[in-house]
Chains A and B, each alone.
Chain A
């Protein structure tokens, strides 16, 4: 199957997106931000619709809306006036509904809508690959530079802040990184399934290991296995690539749960 250039490109894009998502998923689970991740990814649909209707790149629209949603979630969480779950639920379902309404205004976008909802990594072109690299480099750079500070804030935000770590800025940085990563993942698995990539890899790691280092390693490896196996399934049996990748991840998670049960009681 690797006789085709598009397969190589799909594999490279998949491995890069998966690396991004797997690294971020560690922090999503540590900070218990799975719902925020899902909210941000669903809000992307509103941005895609705005992009399609106004003639700009839909991914640019999605990036704008996702970043704004992420900053909104950060502000609401900090204010403490509205429960974050309620705010995320209302804000993001509203933006998704906006996307559906805007898409419905024109019947010409139905094909596009399907690809943005569920992704098609086999159709990734060179321009989209470059877009991916442009997102991946700053996000991975942010995590590499602030790794120990992000871990400290994830474990004990108040103490980190008291000892001079800029916890609030790092929280916003993490939320914006999630927003950028969601947009990068849209080509691969679409708006609906992007949140799975932000949760499942580290969830697998948490079942296998007790320390964040092996968890991170397992997270990245399970993401890569899902991309390779999902692409192979998609090529061999002509099934949707995004769905196949997420299904492989979910199967790995249940295998990891089973493995943990055989060894010791589960934590998450």
Chain B
């Protein structure tokens, strides 16, 4: 589904990513973690084709991301802080319909089928009753579900989210991750989520990859959490409380003593 091979990225003369190699199989849920400024968002943008790697190769759905053409419709993207500080004159329905723009075609208006898909997507996200409200009037958690509805209202097979839980309260964070997990199971969706909230994400992701300019560790969440490489990536020692979606928790070693990162 996604393959990065020795990817370097230099932005404004600064090396943001160095020698990143990883592969993600279809239907998997990857949590991309790392400290602030570690290059997580840049890594997503390389996968999305927004940034071209300085060296190395990227393959998404078997092709370079900037050569996907109409296959780009299969990628859903939820950016960081989608509505932060902004007011926009669009209803929730308008915003989700934007997800259909690439499918409708230039110069054409949405048809009944497009409206039906938008309504279905809103219903799946539990937002049917909010459809006509201004998107700026919603809470942080609701806005993120609108953005996921927008990303999912077409034949999306890869969903990429950048810090989807930022500015969202704890119960809604859990609801959001559960929703992603359900979508993954229902539609065989591949999910890549960036977060710096490692403990919450580790309870839902199938695999974790920790980036701090280079890829420090990638694998099963429990193994990653127990890896010394994780502490090195964050330049600190950890006390993780791994959240489990079906109750309970799992303590990992170390201390909550942060030296840096």
Q: Does B111 contact A (CB under 8 A)?
A: no
Q: Please, what's the 1-or-0 string for B80-110, where 1 marks a CB less than 8 Å from any CB in chain A?
A: 0010000111110011011101101011011
Interface stretch among A48-56, A179-187, A208-216? A208-216
User: Given the complex of chains A and B, what is the CA–CA distance between A149 and B236 in angstroms?
Assistant: 46
Which of these, B77, B87, B91, B107, contacts A163 with CB under 8 Å?
A: B77
In this complex, what residue of B is CB-closest to A155? B88
A263 at the binding interface (Cβ < 8 Å):
no
Q: How far is the CB of B135 from chain A (nearest CB, A)?
A: 9
Interchain nearest-CB distance for A171 vs B (Å): 15
Residues of chain B within 8 A of A164, CB atoms compared: 68-70, 72-73, 102
B27 is an interface residue with CB less than 8 A from chain A: no
Task: Tell me the residues in window 42-93 of chain B with beta carbons closer than 8 Å to chain A beta carbons.
Answer: 48-50, 68-70, 72-73, 75, 77, 79, 82, 87-91
Q: Which residues of A contact B69 (CB under 8 A)?
A: 164
Q: Of B50, B68, B101, which one neighbours A165 at CB under 8 angstroms?
A: B101
Contact B99 A212 (CB under 8 A): no
How far does the alpha carbon of A30 sit from the alpha carbon of B94 in the complex, in Å? 15
The reply to whether A211 and B50 contact each other, CB–CB distance below 8 Å, is no
Known: A159-B79, A162-B72. A210 touches B134 (CB 8 A): yes
Q: Can you list, as one digit per residue, whether each of A129-172 has a CB less than 8 Å from chain B (1) or not (0)?
A: 00000000000000001101101100110111111110000000
A268 at the interface (CB under 8 A from B): yes
With both chains docked as a complex, state the minimum distance between the C-beta of A206 and any C-beta of chain B, in angstroms: 7
Which residues of B have CB within 8 Å of A160?
98, 101
* Centre residue among B68, B79, B95, B98 by max chain A CB count within 10 A: B98
Q: Are the C-beta atoms of A165 and B102 separated by less than 8 Å?
A: yes
The interface size bin for chain B is: 20 to 34
Q: Determine which of B49, B79, B101 lies in contact with A148 in the assembled complex, contact meaning CB atoms within 8 Å.
A: B101
| Chain B residues, Cβ within 8 Å of A159 | 77, 79, 98, 150
Least CB distance, B241 to chain A, in whole angstroms: 33
Please give, as numbers and ranges, the residues of chain B lying within 8 Å of A146 by CB-CB distance: 106-107
Contact status B79-A206, CB under 8 Å: no
Which residues of chain B are near A206, meaning CB under 8 Å? 89
User: Are A145 and B88 within 8 A (Cβ)?
Assistant: no
B50, A215: Cβ atoms under 8 Å? no
Given contacts A163-B72, A163-B73, A165-B101, whether A211 and B89 have CB atoms under 8 Å apart is yes
In the complex the two chains form, is B50's CB within 8 Å of A163's CB? no
B50 near A151 (CB under 8 angstroms)? Answer: no
For B162, give the chain A residue with the smallest CB separation.
A158
Separation of A134 and B73 alpha carbons in the complex (Å): 37
CB atoms of B50 and A162 under 8 A apart: yes
Complex CA gap A30/B98 in Å reads 16
Candidates B89, B94, B95, B98; contact of A215 at CB < 8 Å: B89
B99 touches A267 (CB 8 A): no
Q: A160-B98, A163-B99, A164-B70 are in contact. Are A145 and B106 (CB under 8 A)?
A: yes
Complex Cα distance A164/B104, Å? 12
Known A30-B88, A163-B101; contact A211-B94, beta-carbon cutoff 8 A: yes
Contacts of B134 in A (CB 8 A): 210-211
Q: Contacts of A268 on B, CB cut-off 8 Å?
A: 87
**Pairwise interchain contact B101-A211, C-beta atoms closer than 8 A:** no
- Which chain B residue shows the least CB distance to A206? B89
Query: A212 is contacted by which of B87, B89, B106 (Cβ under 8 Å)?
Result: B89
Are B77 and A148 interface neighbours, CB within 8 A?
no
B88 surroundings in chain A (CB, below 8 A) = 30, 155
> A159-B77, A163-B99 in contact; A148/B104 too (CB < 8 A)?
yes
**Chain A nearest CB, measured from B249 CB (Å):** 35
With A30-B88, A212-B94, A268-B87 known, 18 other A-B pairs at CB within 8 A are: A146-B106, A148-B109, A149-B106, A151-B94, A156-B79, A159-B77, A159-B79, A159-B150, A162-B72, A164-B68, A164-B102, A165-B102, A206-B89, A210-B89, A211-B94, A212-B89, A212-B90, A215-B89
B residues near A, CB below 8 A?
48-50, 68-70, 72-73, 75, 77, 79, 82, 87-91, 94-95, 97-99, 101-102, 104, 106-107, 109-110, 134, 136, 150
